[in-house]
């Protein structure tokens, strides 16, 4: 449905109904589970189609950054990047990450003391750290933000320094 058609159909609604609808939609779009479901399918440098609120049309661009509730996209047609909501991305379902049946979850044996790793806590901002302790189910990290984190092995990704 085009935005103009939607706007025309909402003209008959009361102001109170529109406000309640605005609140409900905003609540759904900020739902962390929805954002996480989209965020897990994205990576920096990925090409995406996204809807722009500036000109009410789709654009093609490349992801260059992440915030907990927005993604930074560099459009192909301009050098001016902009933050868009995760819901503004049009993702092809066939681009969902496929995990082979034979893949296994990382375990303690896959890591060693001193390894440099990356991880994403609940705020979805990538952090880096060095493993300082290997526990049974988690690794203790000294992170680049000066804090110590306990992260499950499944949430760790090895960082290779070239």
Number of domains in the chain: 2
In a shared domain, residues 86 and 128: no
With 0.85 as the threshold, say if the pTM is over it. no
Evaluate whether residue 99 is within a structural domain: no
pLDDT at residue 125 greater than cutoff 90: no
In a shared domain, residues 77 and 127: no
> What pLDDT is recorded for position 102?
45
In a shared domain, residues 16 and 63: yes
Distance of CA 115 to the CA centre of its chain: 25
- How much is the mean pLDDT over the chain? 84
Q: Which domain holds residue 33?
A: 3-93
């Amino acid at each position: 449905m085009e935005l103009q058609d939607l706007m025309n159909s909402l003209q008959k609604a009361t102001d109170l109904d529109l406000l309640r609808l605005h609140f409900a939609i905003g609540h759904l779009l900020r739902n962390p589970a929805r954002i996480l479901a989209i965020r897990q399918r994205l990576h920096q440098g990925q090409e995406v189609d996204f809807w722009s609120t500036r000109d009410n049309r789709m654009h093609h661009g490349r992801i260059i950054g992440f915030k907990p509730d927005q993604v930074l996209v560099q459009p192909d047609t301009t050098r001016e990047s902009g933050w868009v909501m995760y819901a503004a991305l049009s993702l092809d379902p066939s681009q969902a990450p496929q995990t082979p049946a034979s893949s296994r979850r990382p375990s303690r044996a896959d890591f060693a003391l001193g390894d440099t790793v990356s991880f994403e806590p609940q705020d979805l901002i990538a952090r880096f750290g060095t493993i300082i302790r290997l526990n049974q189910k988690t690794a203790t990290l000294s992170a680049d933000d000066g804090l110590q984190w306990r992260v499950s092995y499944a949430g760790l990704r090895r960082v290779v320094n070239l």
